[in-house]
Amino acid sequence: MEEPEQDIKEKLAGEESQGTNPHLPTDACDDQADTMGAELVLKVRIHNSKENDFIEIELHRQELSYQNLLQVSCCELGIHPEQVDKLRKLPNTLLRKDKDIQRLQNFQEIELLVKSGNSEWTQHTASPLTERPCYNSEAAKLTY
Average pLDDT value for residue range 31-53: 79
Residue, of 101 and 140, whose pLDDT is higher: 101
pLDDT in tens, 56-101: 999 999 989 999 999 999 999 999 999 999 999 999 999 999 999 9
Residue 140, C-beta contacts closer than 8 angstroms, at least 6 positions apart? none
Q: What pLDDT is attached to residue 10?
A: 58
pLDDT in tens, 122-131: 444 444 444 4
The C-alpha angle with vertex 53 and arms to 73 and 74, in degrees rounded to 5, equals 15
Q: What pLDDT is attached to residue 143?
A: 52
Q: What pLDDT is attached to residue 126?
A: 43
pLDDT in tens, 77-86: 999 999 999 9
Q: What pLDDT is attached to residue 54?
A: 95
Q: What pLDDT is attached to residue 29?
A: 39
Residue 4 has pLDDT above 60, yes or no: no
Q: Where are the alpha helices (DSSP H) in the chain?
A: 2-18, 28-37, 66-77, 98-102, 119-122, 137-140
Dihedral Cα 107, 122, 142, 39, nearest 10 deg: -30
**pTM confidence score:** 0.58
pLDDT in tens, 10-27: 555 554 444 545 554 444
